[in-house]
A and B are shown apart, each in its own frame.
Chain A
Amino acid sequence: MNKTAMYDLEQIKALTESAVHGCRLELVPNGSAANQPSLWVDNDHALAVARFLRDDPALCFDYASNVTGVDWPDVTVNETVMVKKVIAGVEQEFDVPRAIVKPGFLEAVYHLYSMRCKHGPLILRLRTENRTGQTHVPSLTPIYRGAEFQEREIYDLFGIVFDGHPDLRRLLMWEEFQDHPMRKDYRAPDDYEYEPTPHGEILEKARRHYSPEVKHG
């Protein structure tokens, strides 16, 4: 936390947990020199937590500065497991390597500051269940209008669906565009503007005509 803040993150977590019944919060440490740890919020209570953080007179996080998405792809962790086997009547222990795939997820990160009390940042993180099917998180636009375009941008570039957003459309890419370019596994098409034309067919015919498999006379 910034040195001007009234509370540190542990205190904010305790205050929020006592005010919002049943919410689950988790500290996410930050290894960099910036000393900006963040707070993971469960999706069911995110709206209530944000409303509490905005309206509480002492915390007063009334300003959502930066809203962004992060794509965490699946991570394969190699580890060794001890396995007992009976070989020739003798029980022996073996180290067996095993690859475990930790499923990835998408994350929406909110940097909250207070304009009235001039402290911050408080970093909130919302996570989707996975990267493919369940990519829903609640929208915080009803609490912070400033998140409106930024959540649209995340929906556009990362594919997080913000439930409760008043106007969830693509922001930067065109509406017919299919994929989400900021995903880590995104591959750009060879030609964005490709559409089949007679010209393409003729080129294909010519290619076949001059290819070595086709024998002429």
Chain B
Amino acid sequence: MVDFARQPSAGRPFPPAGPNPNERYRIVAQPSENGGLQSDLLEVSMGPQHPSTHGVFRMDLVLDGETVVKLKPVFGYLHRNHEKLAENMTYLGSMPYTDRLDYFCSMTNNWAYALAVEKLAGLQVPERAEYIRIIVGELTRLQNHACLVGFLLQDLGAMGTPLMYAFREREKILDLFEALSGSRMMCNYLRFGGCRIDFPEGWLEQAKKLVAEFPRFLDEFEALVTGNEIVLARLQGIGVLSPELAINASITGPMLRASGVDYDLRKVDRYGLYDRFAFRVPLGDHGDCYDRMMMRILEMRETLTILDAALRDLPEGPILDPKSKLRGFKPKPGEAYGRIEAPKGELGFYLISDGSANPFRYRVRPPSLINLTILEDLCLGHKVADAVVILGSVDIVLGEVDR
């Protein structure tokens, strides 16, 4: 088997570690390899307020000229110990807090948490509620992927325009969420064993209209983006991730599938009612930044077919399991791990119940954080401007990274 320890970069050797283990690294001047001028390595602290870090995230870079020699991500600027807060609340009490994890995708956060609690307590979800979950979950994926492509182009220097195109479509989806849950981003919509409220009047028509119109935006967006010479030059062959390393480093979501690993939890776990829907899982060939961007565009197309079918076949019926209790909810002692395919990757919740009203242990498996494990491997040997693009193609939200 291959060992997946971090490989030293092709350029200079790493600076030797200092005597103090807490010291991150020591910069030493070294003669250049071709015997030319001596030059120092440059330490750059990129972030936490840098616009390309998508929030408060910092990278400690060591640069040789413009080439990245070392990269250490620094986390915790948005840490509020979400898990401790949730352990001091009732199960339902932390449902609104899950919205704040990945604040782009509150619906899928709710879904992952509800799924874990339903596994823990053995609740069944009615058919109509499962359809509603798929509809809101796939709408979330649609707006997340559209915005990710917009943000990535923003990082490339396409200031504003592509992002505003994506935000225009996102607004329509957020309007739907507002009509449904009362809030645009912090939806707090799902409940254990179902959903909070049924679709209001006219909502389905509006959603069908959106799904029917979305391909036109997507075609235009794709034509503008994928044929662009600068996009091709900046994204292709940058930050190549091998499938072996991707599996070993627990990469999930579109980033994993861009490396050609066929692993989509909607197909593998078949949670919810995803086995009723015919859709394909797009896979990349190269695992570079371009593939990672294309995964999002292709997945949006598959999402539209799911939405089409779900809106068409939506059954009538109750939306909440009659056994589920909103008050006095105390699951039996035990533990459960539930996970879903969130837009950013595998979002899992691990819960341990001790029979009381609060979870004894509540853990979020954040895809954004774990997808950053190999950030250094991807960036080594590339220029510092490419590090920005590679980070943009990972798709992180700091609310989830730092929790």
Cα-based distance from A33 to B335 in the complex (angstroms) = 8
CB of A36 within 8 A of CB of B247, answer no
Q: Are A62 and B248 also in contact (CB < 8 A) when A31-B334, A149-B372 are?
A: yes
Q: Which residue of A lies closest to B6 (CB)?
A: A166
Q: Are A146 and B249 also in contact (CB < 8 A) when A31-B332, A111-B350, A181-B84 are?
A: yes
Binary flags per residue of A141-159, CB closer than 8 Å to B gives 1, else 0? 0101111111000000100
Number of A-B contacts (CB under 8 A): 121
State the Cβ distance, A147 to closest chain B Cβ, in Å: 8
CB of A145 within 8 A of CB of B245, answer yes
Binary flags per residue of A58-80, CB closer than 8 Å to B gives 1, else 0? 00001111101011000000000
Q: Which residue of B lies closest to A107 (CB)?
A: B361
CB of A66 within 8 A of CB of B363, answer yes
Say if the beta carbon of B120 comes within 8 Å of chain A. Answer: yes
Say if the beta carbon of A174 comes within 8 Å of chain B. Answer: yes
Say if the beta carbon of B336 comes within 8 Å of chain A. Answer: yes
Say if the beta carbon of B348 comes within 8 Å of chain A. Answer: yes
Cα-based distance from A146 to B363 in the complex (angstroms) = 16
Say if the beta carbon of A211 comes within 8 Å of chain B. Answer: no
Cα-based distance from A177 to B335 in the complex (angstroms) = 31
Pick the contact of B81: A33, A115, A182 (CB < 8 A): A182
State the Cβ distance, B248 to closest chain A Cβ, in Å: 5
State the Cβ distance, A39 to closest chain B Cβ, in Å: 13
- In which size bucket is the chain B interface? 35 or more
Q: Are A150 and B75 also in contact (CB < 8 A) when A111-B337, A115-B263 are?
A: no
Residues of B within 8 A of A5 (CB): none
CB of B250 within 8 A of CB of A145, answer yes
CB of A66 within 8 A of CB of B350, answer yes
Pick the contact of B119: A34, A65, A148 (CB < 8 A): A34
CB of B335 within 8 A of CB of A34, answer yes
Cα-based distance from A33 to B338 in the complex (angstroms) = 12
Which of A118, A123, A170 gathers the greatest number of chain B CB atoms within 10 Å? A118
Residues of A within 8 A of B268 (CB): 118
Binary flags per residue of B342-373, CB closer than 8 Å to A gives 1, else 0? 00001010101100000001010100011011
Residues of A within 8 A of B332 (CB): 31-33
CB of B337 within 8 A of CB of A66, answer yes
Binary flags per residue of A165-206, CB closer than 8 Å to B gives 1, else 0? 010011111110000011000100000000000000000000
Cα-based distance from A17 to B160 in the complex (angstroms) = 59
Pick the contact of B334: A30, A145, A146, A182 (CB < 8 A): A30
Say if the beta carbon of A54 comes within 8 Å of chain B. Answer: yes
Residues of A within 8 A of B75 (CB): 171-172
CB of A70 within 8 A of CB of B263, answer no
Binary flags per residue of B55-76, CB closer than 8 Å to A gives 1, else 0? 0000000000000000000011
Say if the beta carbon of B121 comes within 8 Å of chain A. Answer: yes
CB of B81 within 8 A of CB of A181, answer yes
Cα-based distance from A59 to B334 in the complex (angstroms) = 26
Residues of B within 8 A of A65 (CB): 250, 252, 339, 346, 348, 365
Within 8 A of B (CB), among A8-36: 30-34, 36
Within 8 A of A (CB), among B69-106: 75-76, 79, 81, 83-84
Cα-based distance from A144 to B339 in the complex (angstroms) = 19
Residues of B within 8 A of A182 (CB): 81, 83-84
State the Cβ distance, B274 to closest chain A Cβ, in Å: 14
Residues of A within 8 A of B245 (CB): 145
Q: Which residue of A lies closest to B353 (CB)?
A: A32
CB of B250 within 8 A of CB of A171, answer no
Residues of B within 8 A of A31 (CB): 332-334
Q: Which residue of B lies closest to A64 (CB)?
A: B250
Binary flags per residue of A110-141, CB closer than 8 Å to B gives 1, else 0? 01000110100101000000000000000000
CB of A169 within 8 A of CB of B22, answer yes
CB of A33 within 8 A of CB of B1, answer no
Within 8 A of A (CB), among B371-403: 372-374, 402-403
CB of A115 within 8 A of CB of B370, answer no
Say if the beta carbon of B122 comes within 8 Å of chain A. Answer: yes
Residues of A within 8 A of B120 (CB): 32-34
CB of A146 within 8 A of CB of B84, answer no
CB of B374 within 8 A of CB of A145, answer yes
Pick the contact of B249: A68, A145, A173 (CB < 8 A): A145
Say if the beta carbon of A93 comes within 8 Å of chain B. Answer: no
Pick the contact of B76: A144, A166, A171 (CB < 8 A): A171
Q: Which residue of B lies closest to A38 (CB)?
A: B335
Cα-based distance from A142 to B372 in the complex (angstroms) = 17
Cα-based distance from A66 to B361 in the complex (angstroms) = 14
Which of A115, A166, A169 gathers the greatest number of chain B CB atoms within 10 Å? A115
Pick the contact of B337: A36, A147, A186 (CB < 8 A): A36
CB of B247 within 8 A of CB of A149, answer no
For the A-B complex with A66-B348, A66-B365, A146-B370 known, give 14 more contacts whose Cβ atoms are closer than 8 Å: A32-B121, A32-B333, A32-B335, A34-B335, A55-B1, A62-B247, A65-B346, A66-B337, A66-B363, A118-B263, A144-B250, A145-B4, A149-B369, A166-B5
| 30 A-B pairs whose Cβ atoms sit less than 8 Å apart in the complex | A30-B334, A30-B335, A32-B332, A33-B122, A34-B119, A34-B336, A64-B250, A65-B250, A65-B252, A65-B339, A65-B348, A66-B337, A66-B339, A66-B348, A66-B363, A68-B365, A115-B261, A116-B247, A121-B337, A145-B250, A146-B248, A146-B250, A148-B249, A149-B372, A157-B83, A169-B22, A171-B76, A172-B402, A173-B76, A182-B84
Per CB-CB distance, the 5 closest pairs between chain A and chain B, nearest first, are A146-B250, A32-B334, A33-B122, A34-B336, A31-B334
A interface residue numbers (CB < 8 A to B): 30-34, 36, 54-55, 62-66, 68, 70-71, 109, 111, 115-116, 118, 121, 123, 142, 144-150, 157, 166, 169-175, 181-182, 186
